[in-house]
Structure 1
Amino acid sequence: MANAPAQRRHYMDYLNVVAMMFVVWQHARIHFYWPTDSPGYWFELCVSSIAVGAVPIFFMISGANLIDFPTRYSLGTYLRRRVLRVGVPYCLWTQVYICATWLRGDPTVSTPLDWVKATFYASSVAPPFWYIEILLGLYLALPVFAYMRAYLGPRWRRPFGYVTVLAIFAGAALPLIRTAWYDAGGQFQLPLGGYIMFMLIGYYLAHTDIPRVWRWVMYGAGLVAAVVFIAVGGPLSLAKSPFAEQIIGYTTLVAVCIASAVFVAAKQLPARWQRANAIARTVGTWTFGIYLMHYLVLAVFTHIRPIGGVIEAIVYAGGVWIVCALLTAIARKNAFVRRWILP
């Protein structure tokens, strides 16, 4: 889902492919998932203890590839490329989802005004598009950090690391603290909250050689976070606790640890695997296309036969991913489609 950097990092192709598979799984599992103490619920939690890192990893890849854009092109070129690559397909596919919603008789778009409203609120008809809406906002904010990085030059790592730690505190730790103690900090705020922390983490990890001992520390933290996701997040969800979202959500310390561990582990994949790397690179170019269409294909599948349980959800997720990958690969052979519809 992210632009290729000037010097391609092969491990990001693997991350794109695997993360997209987990995203399809997460959208398939909602058709059988329910917060009740059942085997399906706990199985879903076990898989999602890793899958929760999928969307954060996409943000990390974008940050890793784009924060150094001033070394390659101007701000105007950066903004134009982001709009053309993400904004145009987003607008076109929004109309596709609106049409699909209207054809199935959903009252969400029963009038022309509803159509206009859905156009400016795409995630109301295509729920996965919340990611693209957030991504577009992050694209607008990212130049601030990009020019900070360019200004700092070789001295970037310590101040950039400081900003990254602040972002993690603002985006993940502070909400947890305030869930436990509403008045904590009074009016204290850090204007770095939300998903921007993953872009900063991605850039820092991609451009820093992590010593082996610290890599193992990160792997351990990721494993502990996955256990917490299941053993703590599961019961809290069953109890409908307000703390549940601070454990199983995307912008949590748990998600930070899991996504970072997976990112660093992928970074260790050998560059000498030329054939595997070439396949991952090719399949990785289909990621955005799969993301754009998978929810529609999943809706068609579940309309024909509803998902009845966890095993069927796995089959559906795999089938939807394969169908979307094939459709994207075939459609992208056309230059117009490759540029404007499925970049």
Structure 2
Amino acid sequence: MAKSKKYYFMYLNAIASSFAVVVLHTVTNPAQFGIQTSRPSFYLILCIILGIIFSYGVPIFFMQSGANILNYRDRYNTKTFFIKRFNKVVIPFITWSIIGFFFIFGKNNGSLTIKAFIKNFLLGDIVGPYWFFYNITGFYLCAPFVSLIIKYGSKKIIKYTLLILIVTNTVIPIVNILIKTQSLFGSSFPFVGSYAQYFIAGWYLTHNDLSERRYKQIYLLGIVMLIFEIITTIYFTFYIKQIPMLNYPGGIVKTFSDIAMIPSFCIMCAFFLFFKQRECWLETLSAKTLLAKGASLTFGIYLIHPFLVTYLLDPFNKFLVAFPLIIRIIVDPLVIYFASGIITLYIRKIKYLKWLMP
């Protein structure tokens, strides 16, 4: 079996995406700061912009998963693939969900029964930020046949597959909103699943070289779409309240900036390629080993940070009451991120607990 090529930009991607997730869960909800959403204000607009900019966390994680996994047949067989994924992702996910059932769900006065656990685990209501594990698990289950397309399909077939995913998952939902209907085309493709476009795009962009002109076109499209997301989110939040679908809590209308939509997909591809173009520079860094070690902690940060947000954030913020709100917006994500990383590092050093943080 061939050994997979090491990409240093993937380490940078992992660190950036895990930090983005922490930012989203600490400082992008205006309600937790007591900010009114009935009229525009500096801090409300700042929360909106931060929420849009740092939404890249989970999509980039999906893209990295696709880049690393869809060619698994070059390294080992399907049985080994499932064993590795089960040990590295499924077991920690279930274990931390059980812990979260008692310490997060239970803290919010949830019923602590086996029936309640099963129901809320299936609904994804135990630890909110773990929602992406359900998508990633579905992707792993589909990887054996998707990997056949990657391994044996021509570049045209792969592009066609990606096009179908983009149209079905990111374009049709916006069309449904604009013309106020529910097209059956969105559910007519048995292969298509939510966010599947990110997995295949991650593989394609990693393992195929693009021309300099194509890079610039994608960067320009990403910038235009980012501006579009910011403008439409602010406009619809304050001036058009009755837009259907994806109206998030707090009154912020994220219909056009949701990661499932085409504008966000364009931004994520541009962001992913920006890091990819840093590969040659990263290879020359003397600290690239440290970069790899930092990236190895990111999965643990995904797992542990909801607990720190629940138990550490409010007590810590009591020390920041006298400071301007902008200080809290800057400091909170950094504290949660580095604290999560340190806890992950120490758990991984404990012989009988390191399986919790693969």
Q: TM-score, normalised by structure 2?
A: 0.86
- Map of 1:293 onto structure 2: 304
CA shift, 1:328, in A, is 1.0
CA shift, 1:332, in A, is 1.3
The aligned runs of 1:66-215 (5 Å cut-off) are 66-101=69-104, 104=107, 106-121=108-123, 123-152=124-153, 156-183=154-181, 189-191=188-190, 192-215=192-215
Native 8 Å contact 1:10 1:271 kept in 2: yes
- 1:330 aligns with one of 324, 328, 346: 346
CA distance in 2, matches of 1:165, 1:137: 20
SS across alignment from 1:275: coil
CA gap 1:72/1:49 in 2 versus in 1, 3 angstroms? same
CA distance in 2, matches of 1:113, 1:272: 51
Native 8 Å contact 2:102 2:112 kept in 1: no
CA gap 1:75/1:35 in 2 versus in 1, 3 angstroms? farther
Native 8 Å contact 1:170 1:193 kept in 2: no
CA distance in 2, matches of 1:190, 1:184: 15
- Map of 1:318 onto structure 2: 334
The aligned runs of 1:42-81 (5 Å cut-off) are 42-81=45-84
- Map of 2:264 onto structure 1: 255
CA distance in 2, matches of 1:133, 1:184: 24
Native 8 Å contact 2:104 2:127 kept in 1: no
Native 8 Å contact 2:24 2:54 kept in 1: yes
CA distance in 2, matches of 1:97, 1:49: 27
Native 8 Å contact 2:106 2:112 kept in 1: no
Total equivalences in the alignment: 333
Deviations 1:107-164 (A, max 9, x none): 322444323434444x312101101111111111122210122223xxx311101110
CA shift, 1:99, in A, is 1.5
- Map of 1:342 onto structure 2: 357
Native 8 Å contact 1:248 1:254 kept in 2: yes
Give the letter for the 1:108 counterpart. G
CA distance in 1, matches of 2:185, 2:8: 44
* Alignment gaps of 5+ in structure 1: none
CA distance in 2, matches of 1:193, 1:112: 30
CA gap 1:98/1:67 in 2 versus in 1, 3 angstroms? same
CA distance in 1, matches of 2:36, 2:70: 39
CA distance in 2, matches of 1:203, 1:116: 34
Question: Taking every aligned residue pair, what percent have the same amino acid on both sides?
Answer: 22
CA distance in 1, matches of 2:49, 2:202: 25
- 2:44 aligns with one of 41, 48, 54: 41
